[in-house]
Structure 1
């Protein structure tokens, strides 16, 4: 009950402040994260949760699944094929380089062994543009930049998973890395993400079936739930299945995509905010103090150095202008994939699990605070409709009034 009431009150506050948030650096993501922090055991003790609670992992996975499904809806296979060059650079070069730079920082700054450093790099490599929504959803931002960030984030969550599991097995001293099992999991996720939506959309075209206008938005919801259930039943990768299913619906069911768009965005937003509240409740002042000076130095390097350096190398001679490249380098927020993988590491029982989880949580907190508070600012950077600063326009209007009144 305290958790539900806390979520309801914070949601009401977010709704009342949403107009202001769209115009300023105020962020609803930060509101829920901070709310969870204040209401958690470390401060007020209203919400009592531990990382071992099943509800924490389940909510994080559901939120990530919903976000990836709705993100996949924003692109279709034809558009993906035509504009794959930039996302391909980000995934093929940027992500491995980000992993490597993060691992080097973890080894030399925190003193982790190389397997643990590489595991940490793999957990923090995926990006999540849901915390930069003002940038990804702003049509004044160049389409190729929005497409790049959206596709990259949707695909890199699933790509990072094999690396996380392999490095986790190495840290645990396991001789069986399970590469074949991981490959099968990814393949199953891909097949489910294509087959289930395609079959569902084909069924609706039969003469005996048709969705009413009232139920049309629920069509894609039902498809998503079936994809989720089947993936869990056969142990397919949930995140690959979610993003692929969204793309499949966008490709073969444009009507269903349009009907679901607003409804789906709101549903994903609710799950995202609930997951942020729960994650914030896991963080306490004592928890943050345990990260230590070296840990915080690593967090800063992981956020402001690793991805910028990696993407700068990846986009050499890619044709992006300075503003586009700078925005892509900066917006690499750590989100639900890192939360989920961090919980997997914590539950693994390896010797450095607690240290790694502290560093992961610290990086996610700093990333959410920084990226969610700067998305509006950077989005305005691309608005060339009127480059005159607001204060200058105000002074100019005052001077005009004085001139009209004959004042000097």
Structure 2
């Protein structure tokens, strides 16, 4: 644990030192944490021994935190304004991505249909952790930022039931998770309900005479809501990812001043949990994983990551009235990240047939996506800004 703490501290310091370069160039803090983890892990120095369970937990915490923070960029007014485009992404592009990945995994890699479908389900959602790199850039058109934020905020929680259901059909028994369709539906409903109810209850509490927060402690209010929500979701087996995004949106809708006060704290929390989860993920990887994926698996990742999202999103945005540049931005930026990692570990530990191959292919795809999307967010932002200026 001490060695891991030192490695994390070094990675964090290095990320801070290169942050000015990352803000205007292709080098990203994401790649820094990933690179340090790879060097410290079995791929190079083998200084730490990380378990799949630890990586799953770290990825879930990071995903929950980012979804809660990103939800605060999407109050009800924003969701209402971009729902047509975001709805197309959720209803059309996500299922199409799932189908394209599954078909590719079956015919290119040779996975059986059920295993290929599991891989398609866990690689279909757009990851909010890496999408936030583009969402947070002011030079990106508002429509693109809002659409990516709402899409990535909701499709991770919606993909989880599909992954669990398909893993169950493929013979897997994910520990601590249900594969029953009715229970999965109930978890989705509970997640949305708690995501609205918990912050709403806190807002009502603030209206009690004599109750209030001093200025310096106000940022801790939303953080307390997030911690309570995580625990409650765990106790009642609710879908915590949908709950997180809905809670963030509810806070921003009912208490915009609290959401604004929390933003600087939230951004720091976001960087910390993202870095820790990336480091844990990278230290889990070992050479045998790449052997399992094989050359065909690497080719699969190199093909699926840059191709499946545009093929799915381009028809989904047809007729949406968006400029070509914005459609291209939405089509390219569909990163795979912590949701895919967490779900892949769940599948790996489920005992499902071909679980190792699914995990290896998902991991290689995430690595390709992390490098590609985290290094291209700056040039893509600049291109979108230039296109917007020409049209204006």
Within a 5 Å distance, the mapping from 1:93-112 to structure 2 comes to 93-112=92-111
Contact 1:63 1:271 in 2 (8 A): yes
Deviation for aligned residue 1:134: 4.3
| Local SS of the residue matching 1:25 | coil
Higher gyration radius (CA): 1
2: CA distance, partners of 1:190 / 1:387: 38
2: CA distance, partners of 1:41 / 1:173: 28
Contact 1:129 1:331 in 2 (8 A): no
RMSD over aligned Cα atoms: 1.7
Deviation for aligned residue 1:303: 0.4
Q: Hey, what does 1:396 align to over in structure 2?
A: none
2: CA distance, partners of 1:160 / 1:42: 30
The count of residues paired between Structure 1 and Structure 2 equals 385
Q: Hey, what does 1:67 align to over in structure 2?
A: 66
Contact 1:129 1:332 in 2 (8 A): no
Q: Hey, what does 1:35 align to over in structure 2?
A: 36
Identify if the C-alpha distance between structure 1 residues 102 and 140 changes in structure 2 by more than 3 Å, giving closer, same or farther: same
Contact 2:141 2:385 in 1 (8 A): no
Q: Hey, what does 1:178 align to over in structure 2?
A: 180
Deviation for aligned residue 1:156: 0.2
Within a 5 Å distance, the mapping from 1:185-204 to structure 2 comes to 185-204=187-206
Alpha-carbon displacement from aligned partner over 1:21-60 (angstroms, at most 9, x marks no partner): 1111001101111110110023101121132xx3222211
Q: Hey, what does 1:333 align to over in structure 2?
A: 335
TM-score between both structures, scaled by the size of structure 2: 0.95
Determine whether 1:146 maps to 2:148.
no
Contact 2:131 2:149 in 1 (8 A): no
Alpha-carbon displacement from aligned partner over 1:139-164 (angstroms, at most 9, x marks no partner): 22110011011100000001111211
Within a 5 Å distance, the mapping from 1:2-401 to structure 2 comes to 2-51=3-52, 54-172=53-171, 178-384=180-386
Q: Hey, what does 1:402 align to over in structure 2?
A: none
Larger displacement relative to structure 2 (374-383 or 91-100): 374-383
Deviation for aligned residue 1:130: 2.9
1: CA distance, partners of 2:131 / 2:246: 22
TM-score between both structures, scaled by the size of structure 1: 0.91
1: CA distance, partners of 2:388 / 2:117: 46
Deviation for aligned residue 1:342: 0.6
1: CA distance, partners of 2:10 / 2:362: 28
Deviation for aligned residue 1:382: 2.3
Alpha-carbon displacement from aligned partner over 1:203-250 (angstroms, at most 9, x marks no partner): 012112111111100000001111111000111111011001000000
Alpha-carbon displacement from aligned partner over 1:259-308 (angstroms, at most 9, x marks no partner): 10110111021001100001011113342233112111211222011111
